[in-house]
Structure 1
Amino acid sequence: MKKNRIDKSPLKLLDVVALLKDIPEEKLVKGQVGTVVEELDEAVYEIEFANKQGETLVNLALSSEDLMLLHFETEIIT
Protein backbone atom coordinates (compact mmCIF):
# COMPACT_ATOMS: atom_id res chain seq x y z
CA MET A 1 0.00 0.00 0.00
CA LYS A 2 1.25 3.45 -0.88
CA LYS A 3 1.72 5.74 2.11
CA ASN A 4 0.29 9.24 2.24
CA ARG A 5 0.81 12.28 4.50
CA ILE A 6 -1.65 10.87 7.04
CA ASP A 7 0.86 8.05 7.47
CA LYS A 8 3.59 10.67 7.98
CA SER A 9 5.58 9.59 4.94
CA PRO A 10 8.48 11.96 4.24
CA LEU A 11 8.16 14.74 1.75
CA LYS A 12 10.39 14.68 -1.31
CA LEU A 13 12.39 17.35 -3.08
CA LEU A 14 10.09 19.54 -5.26
CA ASP A 15 6.86 18.33 -3.61
CA VAL A 16 4.23 21.07 -3.56
CA VAL A 17 2.81 21.74 -0.11
CA ALA A 18 0.32 24.02 1.63
CA LEU A 19 0.94 25.75 4.93
CA LEU A 20 -1.31 24.59 7.79
CA LYS A 21 -0.88 27.69 9.97
CA ASP A 22 -0.40 31.43 9.69
CA ILE A 23 3.14 32.78 10.06
CA PRO A 24 2.46 36.51 10.36
CA GLU A 25 6.10 37.53 10.91
CA GLU A 26 6.83 36.21 7.38
CA LYS A 27 3.49 37.46 5.96
CA LEU A 28 2.41 33.87 5.20
CA VAL A 29 -1.12 32.61 5.73
CA LYS A 30 -2.67 29.20 6.20
CA GLY A 31 -3.12 27.62 2.77
CA GLN A 32 -0.13 29.40 1.22
CA VAL A 33 1.49 27.14 -1.38
CA GLY A 34 5.20 26.40 -1.40
CA THR A 35 7.76 23.94 -2.74
CA VAL A 36 10.14 21.65 -0.87
CA VAL A 37 13.66 22.73 -1.84
CA GLU A 38 15.71 20.85 0.76
CA GLU A 39 15.43 18.30 3.55
CA LEU A 40 17.18 19.81 6.56
CA ASP A 41 16.54 17.12 9.15
CA GLU A 42 14.10 14.31 9.78
CA ALA A 43 10.66 15.86 9.19
CA VAL A 44 12.14 19.39 8.76
CA TYR A 45 12.19 20.91 5.30
CA GLU A 46 13.18 24.17 3.66
CA ILE A 47 10.13 25.45 1.82
CA GLU A 48 10.25 28.13 -0.85
CA PHE A 49 7.23 30.39 -1.12
CA ALA A 50 7.02 32.39 -4.35
CA ASN A 51 4.66 34.85 -6.03
CA LYS A 52 2.80 34.28 -9.32
CA GLN A 53 5.82 35.50 -11.27
CA GLY A 54 8.01 32.83 -9.67
CA GLU A 55 9.97 35.31 -7.57
CA THR A 56 10.95 33.96 -4.16
CA LEU A 57 9.12 35.65 -1.30
CA VAL A 58 10.71 33.66 1.51
CA ASN A 59 12.56 30.41 2.20
CA LEU A 60 11.65 28.96 5.55
CA ALA A 61 12.51 25.84 7.56
CA LEU A 62 9.27 24.13 8.59
CA SER A 63 8.25 20.91 10.30
CA SER A 64 6.22 18.42 8.29
CA GLU A 65 3.51 18.89 10.96
CA ASP A 66 2.97 22.41 9.55
CA LEU A 67 2.59 21.22 5.95
CA MET A 68 0.12 19.34 3.79
CA LEU A 69 1.24 17.59 0.60
CA LEU A 70 -0.83 18.71 -2.39
CA HIS A 71 -1.91 16.25 -5.08
CA PHE A 72 -2.56 17.23 -8.68
CA GLU A 73 -3.75 13.84 -9.89
CA THR A 74 -5.79 11.11 -8.27
CA GLU A 75 -3.65 8.29 -6.95
CA ILE A 76 -5.01 4.78 -7.03
CA ILE A 77 -4.23 3.07 -3.74
CA THR A 78 -4.33 -0.71 -3.86
Structure 2
Amino acid sequence: MFNIGDVIKLKRDIPEEKLKAGDLGTIVEILQEEPVAVYEVEFCNDKGETITTLSIKEKDMQLFYTA
Protein backbone atom coordinates (compact mmCIF):
# COMPACT_ATOMS: atom_id res chain seq x y z
CA MET A 1 0.00 0.00 0.00
CA PHE A 2 1.19 3.48 -0.88
CA ASN A 3 0.59 6.75 0.97
CA ILE A 4 -0.32 10.29 -0.04
CA GLY A 5 2.86 12.12 -1.04
CA ASP A 6 4.72 9.00 -2.16
CA VAL A 7 6.49 9.29 -5.50
CA ILE A 8 5.81 6.37 -7.83
CA LYS A 9 7.25 5.10 -11.09
CA LEU A 10 4.93 3.83 -13.81
CA LYS A 11 5.37 0.19 -14.79
CA ARG A 12 3.59 0.57 -18.16
CA ASP A 13 3.02 3.11 -20.89
CA ILE A 14 -0.20 5.15 -20.93
CA PRO A 15 -0.07 6.45 -24.51
CA GLU A 16 -3.38 8.32 -24.39
CA GLU A 17 -1.83 10.57 -21.71
CA LYS A 18 1.66 10.59 -23.32
CA LEU A 19 3.14 8.84 -20.27
CA LYS A 20 5.79 6.12 -20.50
CA ALA A 21 6.92 3.35 -18.20
CA GLY A 22 9.43 4.90 -15.82
CA ASP A 23 7.71 8.30 -15.60
CA LEU A 24 7.38 9.61 -12.05
CA GLY A 25 4.24 10.88 -10.34
CA THR A 26 3.06 11.82 -6.86
CA ILE A 27 0.12 10.19 -5.10
CA VAL A 28 -2.37 12.91 -4.20
CA GLU A 29 -5.32 10.78 -3.08
CA ILE A 30 -6.20 7.22 -2.14
CA LEU A 31 -9.39 6.44 -4.05
CA GLN A 32 -9.92 2.81 -3.10
CA GLU A 33 -8.12 0.22 -0.99
CA GLU A 34 -10.20 -2.92 -1.49
CA PRO A 35 -10.58 -5.12 -3.46
CA VAL A 36 -8.00 -3.42 -5.71
CA ALA A 37 -6.00 -0.39 -4.54
CA VAL A 38 -6.47 2.66 -6.77
CA TYR A 39 -4.67 5.99 -6.37
CA GLU A 40 -4.99 9.46 -7.88
CA VAL A 41 -1.52 10.33 -9.20
CA GLU A 42 -0.30 13.72 -10.43
CA PHE A 43 2.35 13.90 -13.15
CA CYS A 44 4.33 17.12 -13.72
CA ASN A 45 6.80 18.41 -16.30
CA ASP A 46 10.33 19.66 -15.56
CA LYS A 47 8.92 23.09 -14.66
CA GLY A 48 6.62 21.63 -12.00
CA GLU A 49 3.50 22.23 -14.07
CA THR A 50 0.83 19.54 -13.92
CA ILE A 51 0.66 17.45 -17.09
CA THR A 52 -2.20 15.23 -15.96
CA THR A 53 -3.80 13.59 -12.95
CA LEU A 54 -4.90 9.97 -13.33
CA SER A 55 -6.46 7.14 -11.36
CA ILE A 56 -3.94 4.29 -11.40
CA LYS A 57 -4.10 0.78 -9.97
CA GLU A 58 -1.36 -0.28 -7.56
CA LYS A 59 -0.24 -3.08 -9.91
CA ASP A 60 0.72 -0.47 -12.56
CA MET A 61 3.21 1.40 -10.38
CA GLN A 62 6.12 0.88 -8.02
CA LEU A 63 7.42 2.96 -5.14
CA PHE A 64 10.22 5.35 -6.11
CA TYR A 65 10.39 7.55 -2.98
CA THR A 66 8.35 7.50 0.20
CA ALA A 67 7.10 10.73 1.76
TM above 0.5, yes or no, is yes
CA RMSD of aligned residues (A): 1.1
In the other structure, the counterpart of 2:23 is 32
Gaps in structure 2 of 5+ consecutive residues: none
Instruction: Identify the range of structure 1 (48-57 vs 63-72) with the bigger mean alpha-carbon deviation.
Output: 63-72
Question: CA shift at 1:71, angstroms?
Answer: 3.6
Gaps in structure 1 of 5+ consecutive residues: 1-9, 73-78
TM superposition outliers: structure 1 runs of 4+ over 4 Å: none
In terms of fraction of residues, the more strand-rich structure is 2
In the other structure, the counterpart of 2:54 is 60
CA separation in 1, counterparts of 2:12 and 2:60?
Answer: 7
TM-score, with length taken from structure 2: 0.90
TM-score, with length taken from structure 1: 0.78
State the number of aligned residues.
63
Q: Any residues of structure 2 matched to 1:1-78 within 5 Å, and which?
A: 10-42=1-33, 43-71=37-65
State the structure with more CA Rg: 1
Identity among equivalent pairs (%)? 48
Structure number with the bigger relative contact order (C-alpha 8 A, sep ≥ 6) is 2
